[in-house]
Structure 1
């Protein structure tokens, strides 16, 4: 039973941490971030398994995590407020060529991040060529140029 409680606590703790650090944490992984994720994975395993590293204990933890995930999926499907609390939603970063400064600050983005996405996908050079830019649930930036939006 100890493994189930540990798995639940670690799952909820990590969910909270990743929600607080934002979408960008999950979308733009540098070498440093990757190393941190590996260390987090090892620390998480130790926290959930405790002193017992047996296959049975590992299966109990894995099963617990899968059950928690399914319960969260169901609650997100059933209750919109729960979905908003646990899932990300797309966010408008540029509206009719104008950066939404408050949103950029909140997600720690600079205009060059949006222009980079515009250049990579549409050959955009200036902000005024962008009708909308949206940070997707995945943390990636989608850019809709004026030419595409108006057609």
Structure 2
């Protein structure tokens, strides 16, 4: 039972921490992000298993984590509120060539991030060529040209 509670607590803690970290951190990993995720993974493994490294305990933890994930997915399907709480929604960060600075700060993005997405997806070179730039739920930036 201890392993089930540990798994549930760690799942919840990581969901909250990654929600606080923001969508950008999960969209494209830098070297720093990758190293950080490796360290988090190791710390999580130690917290999940404690001193019991048996196959049975490992399987119990894995089954618990998958059950929680499936349960939350089902909840998200049935409730828009739960889906919005867990995954958030798309955020417009550029409108008619104008940066929405408050939303950019909240998402911890800078103009260079928007322009990189605009160049790579649409070949856009200036902010004025962007009708909308949208930070999607998955952390990617979608760009709609004028």
Distance 1:121 1:74 in 2: 33
* Aligned positions of 1:89-104 closer than 5 A: 89-104=89-104
Aligned residue pairs total: 146
User: In angstroms, what is the RMSD of aligned CA positions?
Assistant: 0.9
* Aligned positions of 1:131-142 closer than 5 A: 131-142=131-142
Question: C-alpha offsets along residues 61-94 of structure 1, whole Å, 9 cap, x if unaligned?
Answer: 0000000001111111112211111113111111
Question: C-alpha offsets along residues 17-69 of structure 1, whole Å, 9 cap, x if unaligned?
Answer: 00011001111311111111111111101101110001110000000000000
**1:4 corresponds to which residue?**
4
* TM-score, normalising length: structure 1: 0.93
Distance 1:102 1:36 in 2: 27
Q: Return 5+ residue gaps in structure 2 as ranges.
A: none
Question: Is the counterpart of residue 19 in structure 1 residue 24 in structure 2?
Answer: no
Distance 1:56 1:117 in 2: 46
Q: Which runs of 4+ in 1 moved over 3 A?
A: none
Counterpart secondary structure, 1:132: strand
Distance 2:87 2:115 in 1: 26
Q: Return 5+ residue gaps in structure 1 as ranges.
A: 147-151
**1:87 corresponds to which residue?**
87
* TM-score, normalising length: structure 2: 0.96
